[in-house]
Structure 1
Amino acid sequence: METYDVAVIGGGVAGLQAAFRAVARDRTVALVEKEVLGGTCLTRGCIPTKAMVRSAEVAHLARRAEEFGIDIEGEIEADMNRVVDRKDRIVEDVVDVNRHEVAETDAVDLYEGTATFEDPHTLRVDGDAIGADQIILATGARPFVPDWPGVDEVDPLTSRELLDLDEVPDELIVVGGGYIGLECAQILGRLGSDVTVVQRSVILKQEDQQLIDLLRERLEAEGIELREGTGVERLEAKGDRVLVHGADEDNEPVTITGDELLVAVGREPVDGDLNLDQAGVETWGPGWIETDDQLGTTQENIWAVGDCIGEQMFTHVARYEVEVAIRNALEDGEEAVDYFAAPYAVFTDPQLGRVGMTLEEAEDAGYDAMEAEWTFEHLGKALCLGETDGMMKAVADRETGQLLGFHCLAHEGAELVHEAIVVMNDRGTVEELSDAIHIHPTMAEGVNDTAYTAAIRLGRREW
């Protein structure tokens, strides 16, 4: 049996980072991956979808060319094979880099197969026995498809299969109005599909709804039909058509038809054949790995990071969790995770970048909070770009001025939110954000203006 200081199960972004961080601390590492290095983010999620978002953006901008004084003759059409080929080339480049880095790191041995626990310190990977002092679980998550009547008959797409379509569906039904569903809906809509989104409640219900109202207007203006308040009851295949049967908010029956069905209603854990009981690792809910605030599991030498713990399922959060878990596992640390300034984005157009709380969440958390907003109608760079849709909001504590949240629905909103992340990470105030000099003309001036508006309303700055 080969023995190591650390075994990492899962070769996605979190698992790769855990392996390299352990090596940097002079540990030997066994890295186990049953599919492709890079995991969901690099091969089936973040990177490939953003490659396709870009193709869709180009198609959309080309249709707007006349606004900018540019004439383009003929219809703007997507060649789906070339769109997918471009995406595949990007993914292949990323995977090749990861594989090269692992191969060049002498202290890491890659095991390509499925890991199974025999005891808290022993794994078996397709016949190979591996021993390790510390074990880090980074097994990720996968798209969840509910067991609706008719689901086997229809065989719906998930975000994974959507990435490999060889043609644009004439009519696409998307069940799920979260960030994955809306991103995919806009991609296919811009590439030529007639898209209907079916959502049981409202789209992006956890977000500031004033911003979501603006996003809703934009999506509908692009021809995406939003069937909010509609629940799915059963699916049916009828010839080459897909039928989604359900009920609307008044409990009236509805049937929606299309050529393809995409299900984007959430994710579920991937535990495979881990045999967690043998390791003494407990789970919660549908199988998420139970951790404490230091990312330790119920077995003292086993840690878990990333999507598999069922918390904030974002790659950048997983990378942060790796840093905490490695320090605790290998340096006898007692560091607790802190998600106060953990951001995320929805890569629709306009993008929604967010860090921290909404006003309602801040009040529920016991803060005497206020909010200030800023729009882009008169911002010079937004006018030049033709990208004036959206709004920014700052949420702050009335007494101290501490920045509690920042929400940015804007062109490149995911980029614009980052300086608010830095301020919140240091528990800073709105005036720290408002007093910083911003380059003119930029979209980032809107961040400055939003924070300055909040500081004025709090009486911490004057016009």
Structure 2
Amino acid sequence: MFLLYSRKIDYYNGHGQFVDLHTVKVVVKTGKEHTLTASHFVIAVGGRPRYPDIPGALEYGITSDDIFSLENSPGRTLVIGAGYIGLECAGFLNGLGYDATVMVRSVPLRGFDQQMAGIITDEMMSKGVNFLMKCIPLSVEKKNDGKLLVSWTNITDQSTHSDVFDTVLFAVGRRALTKELCVESAGVKTVPESGKIFAENEQTNVKHIYAVGDVLH
């Protein structure tokens, strides 16, 4: 903070929203509202993990943001999602001695070189990580003993299955925090599903507004 102030940079700890092309409204913790104007903006709000729209996901599931702050052992864990975050979580849980299973909708590490993805998943399986291939979750229910009953469908043969886990971790992508920022008020275009911003060389479709980090599509 001292470095910011020493460079004469104003810092507002609050929630901001675009009002128009050159105006942002900020509400700080005390409830006081500030109106800021600028000729250029940089959006760097990052994102938060998404949850699938299935019963019990929000109530009983966790994400990679939560895994390091659990009060109790995760125990037998189902990781839903096979991107790099999901595989990373399953990998270190397995390395710590926990039973880890990864549910894969399409292919592991989609968008990456599949030869390398195969080498990684083969190595993980050799270490004891389980994979449920071509499966999508249907629901998460909490049993009387506190364990979680997960139901899913195998999309290859349309069969349904269920199993019991101690922890269900969702790693199905991240949602950019652009809706909260009301970027549409400034005309910034986003991807409807994820809220991430379209940009070329970090410049959005609005020429004086830039975006960096996880908020980028």
TM range (shorter): 0.7 to 0.9
Alignment partner, residue 191 of structure 1? 96
Question: Does structure 1 residue 306 correspond to structure 2 residue 207?
Answer: no
Q: How does 1:173-252 map to 2 (within 5 A)?
A: 173-239=78-144, 240-248=146-154, 249-252=156-159
Alignment partner, residue 4 of structure 2? 102
Alignment partner, residue 288 of structure 1? 196
Q: Which structure 1 residue ranges, 5 or more long, are not aligned?
A: 1-98, 311-463
Q: Give the deviation of 1:234 after TM superposition.
A: 1.9
Alignment partner, residue 16 of structure 2? 115
Q: Give the deviation of 1:297 after TM superposition.
A: 2.4
Alignment partner, residue 35 of structure 2? 129
Q: How does 1:381-460 map to 2 (within 5 A)?
A: none
CA distance in 2 between counterparts of 1:187 and 1:101 reads: 36
Q: Give the deviation of 1:272 after TM superposition.
A: 4.7
CA RMSD of aligned residues (A): 1.9
Report which of the two has the higher share of strand: 2
Opposite residue 138 of structure 1, the aligned amino acid is A
CA distance in 2 between counterparts of 1:244 and 1:148 reads: 11
CA distance in 2 between counterparts of 1:100 and 1:188 reads: 39
Q: Give the deviation of 1:124 after TM superposition.
A: 1.5
CA distance in 1 between counterparts of 2:198 and 2:74 reads: 41
- SS of 1:213 mapped into structure 2: helix
Q: How does 1:165-176 map to 2 (within 5 A)?
A: 165-176=70-81
Percent of matched pairs sharing the same residue? 33
Opposite residue 116 of structure 1, the aligned amino acid is Q
Q: Deviations 1:4-57 (Å, cap 9, x if unpaired)?
A: xxxxxxxxxxxxxxxxxxxxxxxxxxxxxxxxxxxxxxxxxxxxxxxxxxxxxx
Question: Does structure 1 residue 261 correspond to structure 2 residue 168?
Answer: yes
Whose relative contact order is higher, 1 or 2, with alpha carbons under 8 Å and at least 6 apart? Answer: 2
Opposite residue 295 of structure 1, the aligned amino acid is E
Q: Give the deviation of 1:133 after TM superposition.
A: 1.4
Opposite residue 128 of structure 1, the aligned amino acid is H
Q: How many residues align?
A: 209
CA distance in 2 between counterparts of 1:209 and 1:280 reads: 38
Q: Give the deviation of 1:100 after TM superposition.
A: 5.0
Opposite residue 148 of structure 1, the aligned amino acid is I
CA distance in 1 between counterparts of 2:18 and 2:197 reads: 14
CA distance in 2 between counterparts of 1:220 and 1:115 reads: 45
Q: Cα distance 1:123–1:254, how it changes in 2: closer, same or farther (>3 A)?
A: same
Q: Deviations 1:356-396 (Å, cap 9, x if unpaired)?
A: xxxxxxxxxxxxxxxxxxxxxxxxxxxxxxxxxxxxxxxxx
Opposite residue 102 of structure 1, the aligned amino acid is L
Alignment partner, residue 30 of structure 2? none
Alignment partner, residue 163 of structure 1? 68
Q: Cα distance 1:135–1:149, how it changes in 2: closer, same or farther (>3 A)?
A: same
Q: Give the deviation of 1:123 after TM superposition.
A: 1.4
TM-score (norm 1): 0.43
In the alignment, is the contact (CA less than 8 A) between 2:51 and 2:58 conserved in 1? no
